[in-house]
Structure 1
Amino acid sequence: MPPMRRKGDLPQKICAQCGRPFAWRKKWERVWDEVRYCSDRCRAEAKRKPAASASDR
């Protein structure tokens, strides 16, 4: 059995919607490179209203 890992030792990313950091999860093991959002809520919000671009300001 592999040694235990602390949550602080896991890889992290920044959520594309809310900007908060989130850690690797076992269920994302095969698709970690494709994960962009920390939760279903952030993913749904991103689809509902696209982020404002620089030209919209």
Structure 2
Amino acid sequence: MAHKKPNLPTKVCAACGRPFTWRKKWAATWEEVRFCSDACRSGKREAARSKMKSGA
């Protein structure tokens, strides 16, 4: 039986708006974490979306 962790804190990603949960690697900097992934942090995902919407 897998151990589930239901009491981990969550935040909403500032780039994509999706919820994400606490990870051990963020233990020391959880208060400063704003993005769910490196892709959201770099902003490349949003740039690609706006490029696709504009038809370029």
Q: Does the alignment reach a TM-score above 0.5? A: yes
Partner of 1:55: none
Shift of 1:9: 1.5
List gaps (5 residues or longer) in structure 1.
50-57
Deviations 1:1-46 (A, max 9, x none): xxxx733320000000000000000000000000000000000017
Residues 22, 38 of structure 1: 8 Å contact kept: yes
> How many Å separate the matches in 1 of 2:17 and 2:40?
10
Aligned to 1:9: 7
Superposed structure 1 runs of 4+ greater than 6 Å apart: none
> TM-score, structure 2 length as denominator?
0.68
d(CA) in 2 for partners of 1:44, 1:17: 9
- Paired AA for residue 29 in structure 1: A
Query: Which amino acid is 2:16 matched to?
Result: C
* Runs of 5+ unmatched residues, structure 2: 48-56
Letter in 2 for 1:9: N
- Percent identical among aligned pairs is 57
Aligned length: 44
